[in-house]
Amino acid sequence: MKFSVFQVSRRGGREKNEDRMGYCYTRESGLFVLADGMGGHPEGEVAAQLALQTISALYQKEARPVIKDTVEFLSSALLAAHHQIIRYASEKGMLDTPRTTLVAAILQGTGATWVHCGDSRLYVVREGELLTRTRDHSYLEQQNAGVIRLERINRNILFTCLGSPTKPVFDVTGPVVLQQGDKIMLCSDGLWGSLSDDEIVRQLAGSGVSDAVPELVEHALRNGGEHGDNVTVLAMEWETPDAFESTRGISTDSIMDGVFASTIQAGVLDTAVDELDDAAIERSIAEINEAIRRSAARKP
């Protein structure tokens, strides 16, 4: 398996950057993850980091050297990440939970499968054209798709995320068979919120990811201005020719079975992933909701 990859995260006009991203791989499989901690709630960066660590830990456990069922894995890994965030908030006695969006993709064999929750996106560009992209879990995107009609609501509001005291809504796509030169990009809304899809596709199609991604990020930051959002991008090009291998190309052919490489920052989770229990999580959610209710009742 061969691919070129490039990742970058830049702080825009925000006080801090709550975006997190990374990738890891075995001899025959790769996992790419991006999370955008949500402002307006505490410790968004913790939610994003917990999401990456949880999914990475599960991947390292189950990719031997491939994931047997990528759809099932991504679904269960996303829910496990959500549970870890809820548990963290419960153990800290937080009245509001940290929250994050998430998009994650697994590349193995000849295809890619991905999951997303919220408005962090995944784009697939093939032969200079947009093959597909994720549809945000926002009221605006749902209205544009004809799923719902809205009148008096902020249409940009997300209706789901990880860490919310309700079960997250998410979509899994794939496996999609990849072709030589296909480019897959994961990004936070700081990128697509400042650039059109046409601009994104045109830049990705025009050069390798190590050149295209920095240009996209700089363009988004300029458009966003002093109050712009953080911009985070993780992009790869599938089965790149030897000519591209000098631009951060990775070949997994030399990796021994059982070896796991990762750019995701290691960290010790408060509780082991194996110890997740739905009943305990539901109790945690109930405790958080009750704390919020009591807090609201005390207000004049």
What is the model's pLDDT at position 262?
83
**What is the C-alpha separation between 87 and 284, in angstroms, rounded?**
6
N-to-C CA span, the chain: 62
- Which uninterrupted H or E stretch holds 185? strand 183-187
**What is the C-alpha separation between 56 and 197, in angstroms, rounded?**
29
In tens, the pLDDT along 134-182 reads: 999 987 766 655 554 554 444 468 889 999 989 999 999 999 999 999 9
Per-residue pLDDT of the chain (300 residues; tens, 9 = 90+): 888 899 999 988 888 899 999 999 999 999 999 999 998 898 999 999 999 999 999 999 999 999 999 999 999 999 999 999 999 999 999 989 999 999 999 999 999 999 999 999 999 999 999 999 999 998 776 665 555 455 444 446 888 999 998 999 999 999 999 999 999 999 999 999 999 999 999 999 999 999 999 999 999 999 998 888 899 999 999 975 454 444 456 777 767 776 678 888 655 344 444 444 455 545 555 555 565 556 556 555
List the structure tokens of 198.
């046409």
24, 18 in Cβ contact below 8 A? no
What is the model's pLDDT at position 187?
98
Residue corresponding to tokens 């032969």: 127
Residue 135, Cβ neighbours under 10 Å: how many? 16
